[in-house]
Amino acid sequence: MSKLVLSFSLCFVVCAFFASSSHAQCKRFTEKQCLPNLSPFTNNGQINNATLFEGDSASLIMTFYSLLDYRLMVCSHNVLGDSVHFKVRDNDGNLLFNSLDAGKNNWDFRVNSTQDLMVSVIAPEDSENMTDIPASGCVSIIVGFKE
């Protein structure tokens, strides 16, 4: 029993180390590669990032305040390719923006009233990947504003 507890404890420590290491690398990537592209908008202070595999998607509900101009940007590691894209929907599920259709990784907009929007990031599978192991990389959702 004590060997089982020791094994579990060791696994927990190792897993926690790798998870925090991955998060730190993703944060550094975002600060160096993504934030400079937000200009002339000012970052709202939040960095939302995750490690996604090919074929994964993630969604996040974000609040946007009235009468501010915003830039919503998604930035991803090169290993995921240029196919990572995002969609923005309102509370009723209406599609407001699709970066795949727009051909760019950011959206500049203004909201007339404070509202929550759902941002979904998609990392499609790479049809040219010849291995059984899907690529993975950091994907960041960054919001900038100007008054």
Amino acid (1-letter code) at residue 13: V
User: What's the domain count of the chain?
Assistant: 1
Q: Which residues pair with 146 in a beta bridge?
A: 69
| Per-residue pLDDT tens digits for 16-61 | 333 344 556 788 888 888 899 899 999 988 889 888 998 899 999 9
Enter the pTM of the model. Answer: 0.77
What tokens appear for 23 in the block? 């998060």
Q: Which domain holds residue 49?
A: 2-146
Alpha carbon distance 74, 102 (integer Å): 13
Task: Give residues with Cβ within 8 angstroms of 33, minimum separation 6.
Answer: 75
pLDDT at 127: 59
What tokens appear for 87 in the block? 């969609």
Find the CATH number of the domain harbouring 78. Answer: 2.60.120.380
